[in-house]
Amino acid sequence: MDQFTVFVIIAGMMAVTYGPRLLPIAALSSRSLSPWLIKWLNLIPASVLAALLLPSLVLGEQGLNLHPDNVYLWAALPTFVVAKWGKSFVGAIVAGMAVVALTRYFL
């Protein structure tokens, strides 16, 4: 494949990526929304984040991995605790990364 074709594909990728990113903001921000829709939209962040997070924790290359050797699952615990009660953004992330690194080092 020549590099010009590659560039055309990249331009196409940009169009189909930017469209869904821009359209709702452009269309919804200027009109008043029904209370229903606002309630629904306010549930989206928690839903999206959970839908992104859980597969990254429990799905390995060979499918579902709930085995104790899954370090991502273990590290979720201190991350959760520090995020909920420590209220520290960087602290919670460092705690999770440290557990991942230490578990790999010692096991």
Only one residue has tokens 């909920």, namely 84
Beta bridge pairs of residue 59: 64
Q: Quick one: which of 25, 34, 62, 68 contacts other proteins (CB under 8 A)?
A: 25
- The verdict on 29 binding other proteins (CB under 8 A) reads yes
Question: Minimum distance between the CB of residue 2 and other proteins, rounded to whole angstroms?
Answer: 10
DSSP characters over 35-69: HHHHHHHHTHHHHHHHHHHHHHHHEETTEE--STT
Of residues 17 and 69, the one with the C-beta less far from other proteins: 17
At 65, list the tokens. 């991995």
Residues 51-70 contacting other proteins, CB under 8 A:
51-59, 63-64
Question: Minimum distance between the CB of residue 65 and other proteins, rounded to whole angstroms?
Answer: 11
Which helix (H) or strand (E) is 83 found in, with range?
none
- The verdict on 13 binding other proteins (CB under 8 A) reads yes
Question: Minimum distance between the CB of residue 18 and other proteins, rounded to whole angstroms?
Answer: 6
Beta bridge pairs of residue 60: 63
